[in-house]
Structure 1
Amino acid sequence: MFRTNVGGIDRMLRIVVGLALLAGFFLDTDASWRWAYLIGIVPLFTGLFGTCPAYSLLGLNTCPMKKG
């Protein structure tokens, strides 16, 4: 369905940031802003699957194997 458009370093950063945000969801005790950490699902999934819908819309590609 989607083409791979997220490269190696980009993928790793997305996964690390996504996991860090989700860890914040479970570790933060302030109930008023706790839900905001769930935004970490987006970079985690885009990193794991190697595709970013926003990159597709903008015509970007950081995957060296898929350029051209």
Structure 2
Amino acid sequence: MQLSRLVTYSFDPNVGSYDRVFRILSGLALALFPFLTSIAVPPWLTVVLVGFGLAWLMTGLVSRCGMYYMLGLSTRKAE
């Protein structure tokens, strides 16, 4: 594992298609939850949910997960 590749997201895609769809949908749900719910959400929790939701969404959109890279995992089918 090279730290420079991790920081620049220049490693090979390691998120498979089902994993990708799940990340995109759940990331959107997390990021939008505080704004679309009738439950009063504290401001700090809104920041946390939106932050995690956008990060999760990004891993789905770019098909790269830094945690998977560090652990040597992949849900993407071999070519």
Q: Which of the five TM-score ranges fits, normalised by the shorter chain?
A: 0.7 to 0.9
Contact 2:34 2:41 survives alignment (8 Å): no
For normalisation by structure 1, the TM-score amounts to 0.84
Give the C-alpha shift of residue 23 in structure 1: 1.0
Which residue number corresponds to residue 34 of structure 1?
A: 46
Give the C-alpha shift of residue 20 in structure 1: 0.2
* Same amino acid, percent of matched pairs: 38
Deviations along 1:21-61, whole A, 9 cap, x unmatched?
A: 01113224423422221210111000000000100000001
Contact 2:59 2:65 survives alignment (8 Å): yes
Root-mean-square deviation over aligned CA pairs: 1.5
Which residue number corresponds to residue 74 of structure 2?
A: 61
Give unpaired runs (5+ residues) of structure 2.
Answer: 1-9
Number of residue pairs the alignment of both structures matches: 66
SS of the residue corresponding to residue 65 of structure 1 reads coil
Give unpaired runs (5+ residues) of structure 1.
Answer: none
AA aligned to 2:26 is V
